[in-house]
Amino acid sequence: MTTLYTSDHEWLRIEGDVATIGITDYAQSQLGDVVFVELPKVGRSLKKAEAAAVVESVKAASDVYAPITGEVIEVNEALAAEPALVNSDAGGKAWFFKLKISDKGELGGLMDEAAYAAHTA
């Protein structure tokens, strides 16, 4: 299992041909208290860089972009009932959606943990 990161502060956990995607702890700390998360529909095909989800704090709405191309195979329904999970466990329980990866070649453009740490330093 590998964890990769985007410059837009998303993380991807890669298991076989499935990527689980969420936003980083750094991202949630910048957003502040999350009060609403809108997730994509299961079965939707997402292109890399397409707006996939929305995370809203008291003050503002922010888009979450698909970091790679793929089909949505599962979404985290727990976020609808408890959006604050994004603040308390951004890297774990507050995953957003799972994608069936279309092109593993796209993973090459993402950052590993050390590169992401340098990016947010």
Tell me which residues touch other proteins (CB under 8 A).
Answer: 32-33, 35-36, 38, 54, 56-61, 80, 83
Least distance between other proteins and beta carbon 6 (Å)? 21
Least distance between other proteins and beta carbon 49 (Å)? 17
Least distance between other proteins and beta carbon 33 (Å)? 4
In sequence order, what are the residues at sequence separation of 6 or more whose Cβ sits closer than 8 angstroms to the Cβ of residue 64? 8, 10, 21, 23, 51, 52, 53, 54, 55, 96
Our CB check for other proteins shows the closer of 24 and 57 to be 57
Q: Which of 87, 90, 80, 88 lies closest to 5 in space, CA to CA?
A: 90
Our CB check for other proteins shows the closer of 12 and 37 to be 37
Token pair listed for 26: 């750094």
Least distance between other proteins and beta carbon 93 (Å)? 19
Pairing of strands 10-15, 45-46: unpaired
Q: What CA–CA distance (Å, rounded) separates 25 from 49?
A: 20
Our CB check for other proteins shows the closer of 12 and 86 to be 86
Our CB check for other proteins shows the closer of 59 and 108 to be 59
Per the listing, tokens 């090459």 go with 108
Per the listing, tokens 């995953």 go with 95
